[in-house]
Amino acid sequence: MQSQLLRLKIITLTLIGYAMAITPISIRAQENNTLLDIHTLAPKIQLEMRYASTSNFTGKVVSGYQAPKCLLHKSVAEALVKVEQDINKFGYALIIYDCYRPTIAVADFMRWAQDLDDTRTKAQYYPNLDKSQLVPEYIAEKSGHSKAATVDLGLLDCKQLPCIVLDMGTEFDFFGTQSNTNYPTLSDQQRKNRDLLIQVMKEQGFENYPMEWWHYTWKAGSLPDQAYDFPIQ
Which sequence positions are flagged as catalytic?
A: 212
DSSP state of 139: -
* Structure-derived torsion over alpha carbons of residues 130, 136, 140, 141, reported in degrees to the nearest 10: 110
User: Contact at 8 Å (CB) between 143 and 101?
Assistant: yes
Q: Residue type at 193?
A: N
- Alpha-carbon distance of 192 to 175, in angstroms, equals 21
User: What is the rounded CA–CA span in Å between residue 19 and residue 115?
Assistant: 36
Phi-psi category of residue 168: left, alpha or beta, with phi > 0 → left and psi -120 to 50 → alpha: alpha
- CA dihedral for 78, 82, 88, 94, sign (positive or negative): negative
Alpha-carbon gap, residue 229 to 197, rounded angstroms: 29
